[in-house]
Chain A
Amino acid sequence: MIQICLNCLLLSALLLLISIGLNIIYGISRVVNLAHGSLYALGAYFGYSMVSYGVNFYAALLLAPLLAGLCGVVLERLIIEPIRHRDMTYTLILTYGLSVFIDGMFKFIWSDKVQFIQMPSSLRGTLNLFGVHYPNYRLFVLAATVCVILGLLALLEKTKLGMIMRAASTIPEMVSALGVNMKLVHMGVFGLGCVLAGIGGVIAGPLLSVYPMMGSEMLLSCFVVLVIGGLGSLRGAILASLLVGTAQTLGFVFLTDFAMVIVYLMMAVILLFMPKGLLAEGKFD
């Protein structure tokens, strides 16, 4: 029973970690970044390369996401910024193309092989939790996710930067009328989103393996979480991740592939009847 709960939590945590960046990029900049999955994969590949060249796992967990974030910033500048004032369709098409391009580059650089990021030996083995042996690494994933989310909340709620981001998510024009360069905000937010995706990638690497299509496969689940939780709602995202993670974990065991049908159905119902997500906090313009 404890184990099942932990299993549900773990998948939820992964979903949350990977989708949260997508969420804040949409929430603050209103950009639906279809390349988000690829940036998640990019983080995983950076992490993989670092660890296989002997970099400490924890150092890689810090560095690889930063590198992914840097790539994100560059991409934002080169590709998204120039078309920001256009219709959303442009960004959709462009970021989709971008994801295909990035996924293709993985094959060139890292080949098509399925790889694992070697987990640090300190996180191997299991921990006895109330009589249940649970892998240390999974517990680490849970803890890391909680830390990342708490850190993100602290950033958003407690700092001036966070205040600007929250304000920008509502009335961006007024933020610039208060002397803030919104271009920098958009760039920073995109970078932050990519850093978060990268963290997800490195953390998932030892568990889910690393391969070129990993991001595109994950993107769908991320969108499900995004829609169910309400586009741009952090609290909604947490709730939705728990819901989808639990539904998938239990569903996959009892219903196999039908589990996804249930999740999509849930998404459809929410889209139809509560387009702002479970907590009605979503930002639809």
Chain B
Amino acid sequence: MATKLLELEDVHTYYGDSHVIQGLSIYVNKGEAVSILGRNGVGKTTTLRTIAGLTPLRRGTVRIGGKDTGHWPTHRIVKETHVAYVPAERNVFPGLSVKENLKIGEQPPMNGSSGSRWTLDMVYEYFPILKERHLQDGSTLSGGEQQMLVIGRALMGNPEIMLLDEPSQGLAPIVVAKVAEIVKQLCALHGLTLVVVEQNFRVSYKLAQRHYLMDLKGQIKRSLTNEEWAANEDIVKKHLSIDDGCVEKKDSECRQVPAPSEAPSGAAPGGPGAVSK
């Protein structure tokens, strides 16, 4: 039986007086990759921030690796449970070189963790471009490179769980595919547990094995496995109101949404084919 590495129970979070997450309960098993799907502003980012302790938990419990971390300060959560938060805005530190941006994430692996210890060289192996640019100011990198940099920075902390917020945001499709491929590999090879929030369906579908459909105020409408998604594309589509969504969304974003006939049904669930064109 799988152990729950991350568990949220009846979580309530506020921004000032506005009650943003109202009773959220989700869990992620060790080694599992889970995505959260939802329209803009439903509270996906806030969920990740709550887990990382960046937005204070008002009520409910957050358990990571069996520890009740709900009211811990961020640095303690990160240090003791090895959660790595990779925000959508990436937060590359300007003024620090690429190498420094990586080194600042350095942390010894968690006691009793099995995986090998991450080093600068290992990160460079995954992202050769970072090695090439290691002396350059991190903020001068392109969007895709920055995304790689912040993933690399997270890896330097030898994470057990990675919270990945919109990794494809603002990236060209080809770069998106590349980033997704690498993350997929990381999960497979290093037993990383992943929580990903992603607007781009293909990426979500590819990276995660299970998906939470989140509605306004952080309410979970339902949870789907990849197989269930493949069988019920409409549910996801309707949940995200893709049709009316497209009226507001930029054309490019719409095109990334799979047509009912194509992926994910056409590809083996979870297989790389789901993203390839």
Query: Hey, which bits of chain A sit against chain B, CB under 8 A?
Result: 160, 163-164, 166-167, 169-171, 173-182
* Contact A176 to B75, CB < 8 A, known contacts A160-B104, A164-B104: yes
Residue in B54, B79, B91, B96 whose beta carbon sits within 8 Å of that of A166 in the complex:
B96
A162's closest neighbor in chain B, by CB?
B100
B73 interface contact, C-beta 8 A:
yes
* Contact A178 to B96, CB < 8 A, known contacts A160-B104, A163-B103, A163-B104: no
Bitwise interface map of B from 140 to 161 toward A, beta carbon under 8 Å scored 1, else 0: 0000000000000100010000
Q: B96 touching A167 by the CB < 8 A rule?
A: yes
How far does the alpha carbon of A159 sit from the alpha carbon of B269 in the complex, in Å? 47
Bitwise interface map of B from 85 to 106 toward A, beta carbon under 8 Å scored 1, else 0: 1010001011110001001111
B223 interface contact, C-beta 8 A:
no
Q: B104 touching A178 by the CB < 8 A rule?
A: yes
Bitwise interface map of B from 35 to 65 toward A, beta carbon under 8 Å scored 1, else 0: 0000000000000000010100000000000
How far does the alpha carbon of A17 sit from the alpha carbon of B78 in the complex, in Å? 37
Q: A170 touching B104 by the CB < 8 A rule?
A: no
A218–chain B nearest beta-carbon distance, Å:
29
* A-side contacts of B75, CB under 8 Å: 176, 179-182
B74 interface contact, C-beta 8 A:
yes
Q: A177 touching B96 by the CB < 8 A rule?
A: no
B265 interface contact, C-beta 8 A:
no
Residue in B76, B87, B103, B107 whose beta carbon sits within 8 Å of that of A174 in the complex:
B87
Q: A170 touching B73 by the CB < 8 A rule?
A: no
How far does the alpha carbon of A277 sit from the alpha carbon of B56 in the complex, in Å? 36
Q: B96 touching A179 by the CB < 8 A rule?
A: no
* B-side contacts of A167, CB under 8 Å: 93, 96, 104
B190–chain A nearest beta-carbon distance, Å:
19
Q: B85 touching A177 by the CB < 8 A rule?
A: yes
How far does the alpha carbon of A175 sit from the alpha carbon of B79 in the complex, in Å? 12
* Contact A176 to B100, CB < 8 A, known contacts A166-B95, A167-B93: no
* B-side contacts of A174, CB under 8 Å: 87, 91, 93
B117–chain A nearest beta-carbon distance, Å:
16
Would you list 21 pairs from A and B whose C-beta atoms are within 8 A, ordered by A residue?
A163-B100, A163-B103, A164-B104, A169-B95, A170-B93, A170-B95, A173-B91, A174-B87, A174-B91, A174-B93, A176-B73, A176-B74, A176-B75, A176-B78, A177-B74, A178-B105, A178-B157, A179-B79, A179-B157, A181-B73, A181-B75
How far does the alpha carbon of A278 sit from the alpha carbon of B228 in the complex, in Å? 60
* B-side contacts of A170, CB under 8 Å: 93-95
B105's closest neighbor in chain A, by CB?
A178
How far does the alpha carbon of A174 sit from the alpha carbon of B96 in the complex, in Å? 13
B107's closest neighbor in chain A, by CB?
A179
Q: B104 touching A177 by the CB < 8 A rule?
A: no
A167–chain B nearest beta-carbon distance, Å:
4
* Contact A178 to B153, CB < 8 A, known contacts A170-B95, A173-B54: yes
B21–chain A nearest beta-carbon distance, Å:
19
B77's closest neighbor in chain A, by CB?
A179
How far does the alpha carbon of A176 sit from the alpha carbon of B74 in the complex, in Å? 6
A102–chain B nearest beta-carbon distance, Å:
31
A85–chain B nearest beta-carbon distance, Å:
11
A142–chain B nearest beta-carbon distance, Å:
29
How far does the alpha carbon of A160 sit from the alpha carbon of B105 in the complex, in Å? 10
Known interface pairs A173-B74, A176-B54, A180-B75; 9 further A-B residue pairs with C-beta atoms within 8 A, sorted by A's residue number? A166-B95, A170-B93, A171-B93, A174-B87, A175-B104, A177-B54, A178-B105, A179-B79, A181-B76
How far does the alpha carbon of A180 sit from the alpha carbon of B78 in the complex, in Å? 9
How far does the alpha carbon of A259 sit from the alpha carbon of B237 in the complex, in Å? 71
How far does the alpha carbon of A177 sit from the alpha carbon of B105 in the complex, in Å? 9
How far does the alpha carbon of A234 sit from the alpha carbon of B258 in the complex, in Å? 51
* A-side contacts of B103, CB under 8 Å: 160, 163
Most chain A CB atoms below 10 A, which of B73, B93, B96: B93
How far does the alpha carbon of A174 sit from the alpha carbon of B87 in the complex, in Å? 9
Q: B78 touching A177 by the CB < 8 A rule?
A: yes
Residue in B52, B95, B100, B106 whose beta carbon sits within 8 Å of that of A177 in the complex:
B52
B217–chain A nearest beta-carbon distance, Å:
24
B54–chain A nearest beta-carbon distance, Å:
6
How far does the alpha carbon of A167 sit from the alpha carbon of B100 in the complex, in Å? 10
How far does the alpha carbon of A20 sit from the alpha carbon of B105 in the complex, in Å? 28
How far does the alpha carbon of A180 sit from the alpha carbon of B103 in the complex, in Å? 13
